[in-house]
Amino acid sequence: MKSTEIPSIVLLKANEWLSGNYDDNTKEDVYRLINNEDSTELIDAFYRDLEFGTGGLRGIMGVGTNRMNIYTVGAATQGLCNYLRIAFASLNGIGVAIGYDCRNNSRLFAETAAGIFSANDMKVYLFEDLRPTPELSFVIRELGLQSGIIITASHNPKEYNGYKAYWDDGSQIVEPHDFNIINEVLKVKVDDINFNGPKENITILGAETDEKFLQKVVSVSLSPEVIQRQKDLKIVYTPIHGTGVKLIPMALSKMGFINVIHVPEQDIVSGDFPTVISPNPEEPAALKLAIEKAVEVDADIVMASDPDADRLGIAIKNDKGEFILVNGNQTVLIFLYYIITKRKQLGLLNGLEYIVKTIVTTELAAKIALENGVEYYDCFTGFKYIAEVIRENEGIKEYIGGGEESFGFMPADFVRDKDAVSSCALMAEIAAWAKDNGRTLFQLLQDIYLTYGFSKEKMKYVVRKGKTGAEEIEQMMVNFRNNPPKQLAGSELSVIKDYETLTEKNLISGEEKRINQKITSNVLQFFTLDGSKVSVRPSGTEPKIKFYIEVTDLLPTRDQYDAVEAKTNLKIEQVMIDLGL
């Protein structure tokens, strides 16, 4: 693209960076982009401002207003400082914690933010090295701080980094604070940012904090005597080059497991993620090396955490001795089944316990809870909404577990975000418990289906890029609202839930009622008479519209598992056809 085709707004913003209060290296990079014969990179770097959304920042690293760099991180931090002073005006001082993951520039962005918080007369607690996201959530609560940030882009490709903000309960920020912070960030100019606060305001967190966190992690155990009997359980674990490399093996050791087998190539901390295309435990390729190691050593379970160690993926042996990946819904079921079953055995259910799941997560989780006298809550996608339910029930009811289909689980409320450290520790205990009872984890999963019914889930997404793509996605939602399907896979629709209007309509009785949520969301759900569920929503961070499909059946006997699974797979295919996918 020739320079004459560069939008005027791009040249205006680029020239502001050349003349403004930016460092020389940044200006050199901007010059390079301007003088490049191909202006694609220049346009992408400056055509818009990287948005500080309700989840913080996330973007490709580099110079420009649409990139993750010290100036976009600086504006986000200064805006957060401005709002913290408003929200906590009655306090004598404000404290914040800062964590970061293995990504390139994560340490730089963390130190940049620390300097800005310090310059705003805030007490800063900065981790000495990379640490899991759940430990950042924990330390906010442990030290009684008002906020915190973690520098991470979760499982995004290596070119990305991100910035997530947390509130005083250790949860990611929700309304009204999220929008108030966004408004403050939008006001910040580069000249408003002081990057160099006094070092005396910054305290470094290290091993002592790790020890306190790990003591809490070990407290999730419900069967310590089982671990003693099965302490040599063969566990293959991989951090996929990320922050779980230190603390998750330490947590497993403190739980009592002595046979944790590493994947050496993936213990190497690297923001380039050299052994994988995507550091995402949802992707089979990310667990390939770990499964190869598991086959080599005849392991009982494979576990993986993503770069910031808040999500986990597992692989288990099926009845043919082959390692298979367990999806996020199945992982939630295994956790909840174990927690509720063990608490029942131990006499730890008194009617005040509850679990939380997101609306797109399997309905079987709710069935397990209800049939055991445990209350359940549905919430929107994201652990900040699970944390909000906990906050509202604080001191009234007892949270015993919650999760979502995208490979996240939170076993206890000392962390208020998804937690792969505690989850890996507890999942290892579940594998030991199953083995102690003469079962594999696969057989335990079958037991869940035998008792509560079979469910099969699939997430399908449609990508539509650019402005026209966004308009097409919006029109697809309009079409589904105005012309919902009459049936799915031969079963008549029975209920439609529209979270944009918070309306639930029973198509059989004609009854309408309000959905019990405090805010709206652009999500549609279709339920059928035979128990199938389809959730439709546009992605909040990518040019996608997502379809979450769940179909149900009965599993009469264990040896019919393959046949029932094949039957439900065909049913999912038919649902997709009926949806026009």
Asked if 286 and 279 touch (Cβ cutoff 8 Å), the reply is yes
Distance, CA of 201 to CA of 161 (rounded, Å): 26
More confident residue, 131 or 465: 131
pLDDT tens readout for residues 477-507: 999 999 999 999 999 999 999 999 999 999 9
H-run or E-run covering 490: none
Model confidence at 471, pLDDT cuts 50, 70, 90, reads: confident
User: Is residue 469 over pLDDT 90?
Assistant: no
Which residues 6+ apart lie within 8 Å of 483 measured at CB?
none
Task: Name the CATH architecture for the domain at 454-578.
Answer: 2-Layer Sandwich (3.30)
324 has which bridge partners? 316
User: Is residue 1 over pLDDT 80?
Assistant: no
Q: What is 73-205's CATH number? A: 3.40.120.10
Quote the Cα angle for 479-482-485, to 5°: 80
Q: Strand order in 312-317's β-sheet? A: 260-262, 235-238, 301-305, 312-317, 323-326
In terms of Cα–Cα distance, which of 374, 302, 293 is closest to 331?
Answer: 302
Residues annotated as catalytic (active site), given as ranges: 154
Give the residue-averaged pLDDT of 28-34: 95
Asked whether the bond before 176 is cis by omega within 30 degrees of 0, the reply is yes
User: Is residue 541 over pLDDT 80?
Assistant: no
User: Is residue 3 over pLDDT 50?
Assistant: no
> Which pLDDT belongs to residue 531?
96
User: Is residue 2 over pLDDT 60?
Assistant: no
Beta-carbon count within 10 A of 455 CB: 24
Mean pLDDT, the chain, whole residue set: 96
Residue 105, token pair as written in the block: 């520039």
Which residues 6+ apart lie within 8 Å of 468 measured at CB?
none
> Which pLDDT belongs to residue 53?
79
Domains 73-205 and 454-578 share a fold: no
Asked if 35 and 18 touch (Cβ cutoff 8 Å), the reply is no
506 Cα distance to chain centroid: 32
Model confidence at 5, pLDDT cuts 50, 70, 90, reads: confident
Buried/exposed 365-391: b ≥16 CB within 10 Å, e otherwise = bbbbbeebebbbbbbbbbbbbbbbbbe
Residue 519, token pair as written in the block: 């805010």
SS3 category, 72: helix
SS3 category, 65: coil
Distance, CA of 480 to CA of 475 (rounded, Å): 9
In terms of Cα–Cα distance, which of 304, 315, 316, 343 is closest to 220?
Answer: 343
pLDDT tens readout for residues 158-200: 999 999 999 999 999 998 999 999 999 999 999 999 999 999 9
> Which pLDDT belongs to residue 579?
96
In terms of Cα–Cα distance, which of 439, 158, 406 is closest to 278?
Answer: 158
pLDDT tens readout for residues 366-400: 999 999 999 999 999 999 999 999 999 999 999 99
User: Is residue 278 over pLDDT 90?
Assistant: yes
- 154 Rama class: left (phi>0) / alpha (psi -120 to 50) / beta: left
Report DSSP letters for 328-339, one per residue: HHHHHHHHHHHH
SS3 category, 252: helix
- Give the CA diameter of the chain: 74
SS3 category, 280: coil
Q: Which of 40-49, 234-243, 442-451 has the lowest mean pLDDT?
A: 40-49
The residue whose two tokens read 């996605």 is 473
Assigned fold of 226-452: Alpha-D-Glucose-1,6-Bisphosphate; Chain A, domain 3 (3.40.120)
**Residue ranges of the domains in the chain?**
73-205, 226-452, 454-578
Which amino acid is located at 7 in the chain? P
In terms of Cα–Cα distance, which of 303, 370, 337 is closest to 439?
Answer: 337
> Which pLDDT belongs to residue 465?
81
Strands 235-238 vs 301-305: parallel, antiparallel or unpaired: parallel
C-alpha torsion angle, residues 193, 199, 202, 203 (rounded to 10):
170
pLDDT tens readout for residues 499-520: 999 999 999 999 999 999 999 9
Distance, CA of 206 to CA of 227 (rounded, Å): 28
Model confidence at 323, pLDDT cuts 50, 70, 90, reads: very high
Asked if 33 and 43 touch (Cβ cutoff 8 Å), the reply is no
pLDDT tens readout for residues 114-146: 999 999 999 999 999 999 999 999 999 999 999
Beta-carbon count within 10 A of 285 CB: 11
Instruction: Report the length, in residues, of the chain.
Output: 581
Model confidence at 155, pLDDT cuts 50, 70, 90, reads: confident
SS3 category, 189: coil
Beta-carbon count within 10 A of 349 CB: 17
pLDDT tens readout for residues 51-86: 887 778 999 999 999 999 999 999 999 999 999 999
User: Is residue 211 over pLDDT 70?
Assistant: yes
